[in-house]
Amino acid sequence: MALPGGRREAGDQDLLETAIRETFEETGVRLRREGLVGTLEDLRPRHRSIPKVLVRPFVFRLNSRPRTRPSDEVAACWWVSLGRLKRSSCRIHVPERKLAVDAYLIGPHIVWGITQRILSALFLKTELA
């Protein structure tokens, strides 16, 4: 489970434009700069199999739930109420080993890794607001 995102391209004005473009390319959802609520702190993936990239999460507000159109690189798009996410610790299987991870559960699905860390940062920020 992941959030939309990707690398900045030469034609992108800034990372905000990258986020808007990648969200549209991956999900068909059109974001607008005016909908930007803010950013969260930059993060780096912790798992050694993931490239050493810097991730800047952008948070947008939408007035309604738009339809999604998953790209070839996306298996499915889900809208989930933040209140439905259940915090948990899980054991997951990655190549050649098992890991104990902090996670959010959505039914049988596990949200872990950098996606879990982004959601945790969002929850912390909204609790402080």
Cβ count near 4 (within 10 Å): 20
Reported as a pLDDT band with limits 50, 70 and 90, residue 3 is very high
In angstroms, the CA 7 to CA 19 distance is 9
Residues 6 or more apart whose CB falls under 8 angstroms from that of 106 comprise 1, 78, 80, 84, 85, 86
Torsion over CA: 105, 109, 114, 39 (sign): negative
Q: DSSP assignment, residue 72?
A: T
pTM of this prediction?
0.88
**pLDDT tens-digit map of 38-49:** 999 999 988 777
Tokens representing 59 are 């948070």
Cβ–Cβ under 8 Å, residues 24 and 4: no
Start-to-end CA span in the chain (Å): 27
**pLDDT above 60 for 111:** yes
Identity of residue 37: V
Q: Which of 5, 8, 94 is nearest to 46 (CA)?
A: 94
In angstroms, the CA 30 to CA 127 distance is 27
**pLDDT tens-digit map of 45-73:** 887 777 788 999 999 999 999 999 999 99
In angstroms, the CA 110 to CA 89 distance is 10
